[in-house]
Amino acid sequence: MLRIAVQAKGRLYEETMLLLTESGIKLESGKRLLLLPSRNFPLEVLFLRDDDIPQSVADGAADIGIVGENEFAEKKKNAVIVKRLGFSKCRLSLAIPKEIDYSDISWFNGKVIATSYPVILNDFLKEKNVNSDIHVITGSVEVAPSIGLADAIFDIVSSGSTLVTNHLKEVEVLMKSEALLIANPNISLEKQAILDELLFRIEAVQMADGKKYVLMNVPTENIDRIIEVLPGIKSPTIMPLVTEGWSSLHVVIDEKRFWDIIGKLKALGAEGILVVPIEKMIL
């Protein structure tokens, strides 16, 4: 049985559970438990605070974990990054009151900076030869300047709306963060085999993300020109239709490219265009 540590609540929890569900992992239903087994896969989910996940994986309380890169970098525990998952993206930034004129990083010399990430911030300040007083806060860091606790903050930024609400502006981005799948470096061969199967499923889900399966009827004489405008993964599938001079063309494309090329396809005679969602892709 492979044990995975997952954040107990919040956006990372929601996106992690969605990924597991799309990967075919069915968890036992019922009241929320600390440890929840899967009904159809040798996996059990351990729900923890996000900042406890790196330690639990390093100590072997969990074999693997899904955690924000920010927490992984802050804790510096003995675990290995298995895969970048591409969701729960944010950045760790320095922010100051918006009315202050900012020139460069030297502005922070002698200033008090409030943060929940003292290790990352301290490493950065040392690298830049900046001498600041780091004030560790575990709660609402963004209010520290307005109540006189600090001159600036170092915190997670997603949309930036929280900074605006608190009359702050982002002046330095120290790192970008996303969800990581991490593992204990001493995972057994048996558990590694289960992890490999889980990775296979996750990659199949991620490969399909944002992709659409597009079918269309096209004039056979225009196939070469149509292929030129199709940003498919590989050569499209082409099958002749009963109607002479017409073929059915099937291709996988990025959804965000569809509306850019639909006009070109129609201009080349494509019709009966059908767009189908893709749940999984295995190459």
Is the predicted pLDDT of residue 25 greater than 80, yes or no?
Answer: yes
In this prediction, residue 234 carries a pLDDT of: 65
3-state secondary structure of 3: strand
- Sole residue written with tokens 């860091």: 141
Within 13 A of 222's CA, how many CA atoms are on the CB side? 18
Rounded to whole angstroms, how far apart are CA atoms 144 and 12?
25
216-235 pLDDT, tens digit per residue, is 999 999 999 998 888 755 67
Percent of the chain with pLDDT over 70: 98
Rounded average pLDDT over 245-258 = 89
pTM of the model: 0.84
Q: Are strands 152-157 and 43-48 parallel, antiparallel or unpaired?
A: unpaired
In this prediction, residue 28 carries a pLDDT of: 80
Is the Cα dihedral 208, 214, 220, 224 positive or negative? negative
- Work out the pLDDT band at 212, boundaries 50, 70, 90: confident
Is the predicted pLDDT of residue 41 greater than 60, yes or no?
Answer: yes
In this prediction, residue 233 carries a pLDDT of: 56
Rounded average pLDDT over 79-87 = 97
Rounded average pLDDT over 2-25 = 94
Sketch out the chain's domains with CATH numbers. 2-87+178-207 (3.40.190.10), 90-177 (3.40.190.10), 210-277 (3.30.70.120)
